[in-house]
Chains A and B, each alone.
Chain A
């Protein structure tokens, strides 16, 4: 009986719980990865919703930086640019500001 118990414990130690990158909990995944749909994935790869929310945050920060450069530059043309950015706000920024935010992040 004791041998069976010891063998069961050893087997459960030997058999990895991370076979094939399968997961049930985030803590099943290595550091930096999260569990999504039964597999470990990078945090950004999890879903489109994640990418969307992050781009929104990036767009917000880039518009802030645009405003500050506008304040610093005091050029009328840059001011008009910043206004068009802010006017585009909700709709355009997803395509337009993503590029700028990506370049800004890099």
Chain B
């Protein structure tokens, strides 16, 4: 029984990063943004406005390791097309404070109505104007390398910015 509980605790820690005595914190965020998209044209780089998108994020961390955040983001493009995607992210922050700076890496996957997969990196600034609420701005560089929405042998780079609100559940 004791070994079982230890085993479950280790498994829980491996999955969530939460050990006994740590308090998990769950936060949510919603944002919207756009930016510039770069793709390969006829021998030169084509630059277009990125479609306006909306993001809904579920952010998880524990209070003993508040500088590491695990994020599942849901993103929808809403301009010129409607697409849906999911973005797992890992964020490193300077800890919970009124002005929080963070960097992020992620792996965006657009799954409907077409498929695109890539990697992303970026950073953001969160202003917690209330113990439970905050506003943030992010700049993210996405690099899509695989997908049936990309021309043959083409890659898509997007430099996007988004702003939104974040709250603690």
Interface residues of A (CB under 8 A from B): 5, 9, 12-13, 15, 17-18, 22-28, 34-39
Contact = CB atoms under 8 A, between A and B. Distances in A.
| Dominant SS among interface residues on chain A | mixed
Interface in B28-59: 32, 34, 37-42, 44, 46, 48-49, 51-52
Nearest to B116: A25
A38 B40 contact: yes
Contact of A27 (B40, B41, B49, B80): B80
Residues of B contacting A: mostly: loop
Contact of B149 (A13, A15, A27): A27
Contacts of B156: 24-25
A27 B81 contact: yes
B124 to A, nearest CB: 16
Contacts, number: 66
A12 to B, nearest CB: 5
Interface in B77-111: 79-81, 83
Closest 10 CB pairs of A and B: A38-B41, A24-B39, A37-B42, A38-B46, A27-B81, A25-B149, A12-B34, A35-B151, A38-B42, A17-B49
B12 interface: no
Contacts of A38: 39-42, 44, 46
A9 B80 contact: no
B114 A22 contact: no
Nearest to A8: B34
A7 B32 CA distance: 14
B147 to A, nearest CB: 8
